[in-house]
Amino acid sequence: MAGLLYIVPTPVGNLEDMTLRAVRVLKEADLILAEDTRTSSVLLKHYGIEGRVQSHHKFNEHKTVGQIKERIMAGMNVALISDAGTPGISDPGFLLVRTCAEEGIEVRTLPGATACIPAVVTSGLPCDRFCFEGFLPVKKGRMTRLQELASETRTMIFYESPYRLVKTLEQFAETFGADRECSVAREMSKVHEEHRRGTLAEVAAWYAAHEPKGEIVIIVAGAQHKRSGRGGEYGEEETERG
Q: Centre a 10 Å sphere on the Cβ of residue 108 and count the other Cβ atoms it contains.
A: 12
pTM listed for this prediction: 0.89
Q: How far apart are CA 111 and CA 144, in angstroms?
A: 34
Q: How high is the pLDDT of residue 233? A: 56
The reported pLDDT for the residue numbered 27 is 98
**Domain residue ranges in the chain:** 5-109, 116-241
Residue 54: strand, helix, or coil: strand
Give Cβ neighbours of residue 74 (< 8 Å, ≥ 6 apart): 2, 3
State the CB neighbour count (10 A cutoff) for residue 128: 6
**116-241 maps to CATH 3.30.950.10:** yes
Other residues' Cβ atoms within 10 Å of the Cβ of residue 62:
9
pLDDT value for 224? 85
Distance CA(112)–CA(92), nearest Å, equals 16
Q: What is the chain's pLDDT, residue by residue, as a tens digit (242 residues)?
A: 899 999 999 999 999 999 999 999 999 999 999 999 999 999 999 999 999 999 999 899 899 999 999 999 999 999 999 999 999 999 999 999 999 999 999 999 999 999 999 999 999 999 999 999 999 999 899 999 999 999 999 999 999 999 999 999 999 999 999 999 999 999 999 999 999 999 999 999 999 999 999 999 999 999 987 666 555 555 543 333 33
Residue-level pLDDT at 114: 93
Q: What's residue 227's pLDDT?
A: 66
What is the structure's pLDDT at 194?
Answer: 96
Contact 235, 194 (CB under 8 A): yes
Specify which residues 32 forms β-bridges with: 53, 79
pLDDT of res. 143: 95
Residue 209 CB: number of other CB atoms within 10 A?
A: 8
* 216-237 burial: b if 16+ Cβ within 10 Å, else e: bbbbbbbeeeeeeeebebeeee
Amino acid at 215: E
CA 157, CA 238: separation in Å to the nearest integer? 23
Report the pLDDT value the prediction gives residue 241, as an integer from 0 to 100.
32
Architecture category of domain 5-109 in CATH: 3-Layer(aba) Sandwich (3.40)
Query: In what helix (H) or strand (E) does residue 32 lie, and over which residues does it extend?
Result: strand 31-34
Please report, for residues 112, 179, 189, 232, the alpha-carbon distance to residue 229 in angstroms, rounded to integers and kept in the order given. Answer: 33, 11, 26, 10
- CB-based contact 129:29 (threshold 8 Å): no
| Predicted pLDDT of residue 1 | 85
Which residues are CB-neighbours of 196 under 8 A, at least 6 positions away? 183, 184, 186, 203, 206, 207, 232, 233
